[in-house]
Amino acid sequence: MKLVVAIIKPFKLEEVKEALSAVGIEGMTVTEVKGFGRQKGHTEIYRGSEYTVDFLPKVKIEIAVQDEAVTSAAEAIVKAAKTGKIGDGKVFVLPLEEAIRIRTDERGETAL
């Protein structure tokens, strides 16, 4: 089992969700985050004083998947979230040791 973590631009969330649904992945957890990589922030001005905002709003998606589904999930995310412009984000794949469905106490792949 793997945990696929993706940081994407916020307006791409709907598209990524639909792309994942098309490859059979229906569940996910979404968090609003801030961050930056090589994309620079921007300058804002408030009552006469300038300041830089380095942290840009992003959305983090987490999905737990079976090993066989990782490639298609990652590819779906990348394709849907890409704009070609700086700040598109990243996808990370982490090993997932255990998964438990709280309602039924199922463990392992059946819990996904």
Partner 1 sequence: MKKLLRKLTGPLLFAIVAIAVFDLTPAMAQEEAGPVDEYLELVEASGAEYAPAFDFFTVSMLWTVIAAALVFIMHLGFATLEAGLTQSKNTVNILFKNVWIISIGLVTYAVLGFNTHYPGDAWQIPGWLGINGPIGNLNADGGDTWGYGGLSLAMTGYGDFIFQAMFAATAATIVSGAVAERIKLSSFMIYSTILVAFGYTIAGSWHWGGGWLSTLGGGDAAFYDFAGSTVVHGFGGAAALAAVMILGPRSGKYAKDGSIKPIVGHSMPLAAVGVFLLFFGWFGFNGGSVLSANPGPLGLVFTTTALAAAAGGISSILISWIVLKKPDLSMALNGLLAGLVSITAGADAVTVFEAMLMGAIGGVLVVFSIIFFDKIKIDDPVGAISVHGVCGIWGTLAVGIFGGANLMSQFIGVIGVYVFAFVFSGALFLILKAVMGVRVSEEEEFEGLDISEHGQEAYNHSNT
**Contact between 51 and partner 1 (CB under 8 A)?**
yes
Nearest CA among 67, 68, 76, 61 for reference residue 95:
67
- The yes or no reply on residue 68 touching partner 1 (CB under 8 A) is no
Sign of the C-alpha dihedral, residues 39, 43, 46, 49? positive
> Structure tokens of 51?
């300041």
Q: How far apart are CA 41 and CA 56, in angstroms?
A: 7
Output DSSP code: residue 37.
Answer: S
Q: Does 47 bind partner 1 (CB under 8 A)?
A: yes
Binding part of the chain for partner 1, among 29-37, 43-51, 64-72, 94-102 by CB under 8 A, reads 43-51
Asked if 42 touches partner 1 (CB under 8 A), the answer is: no
Q: Residue 14 and residue 12: Cα distance in Å, rounded?
A: 6
Judged by CB under 8 A, the stretch of 21-29, 39-47, 76-84, 96-104 that binds partner 1 is 39-47
**Smallest distance from partner 1 to CB 30, Å:** 17
Q: Which of 14, 42, 46, 105 contacts partner 1 by CB under 8 A?
A: 46
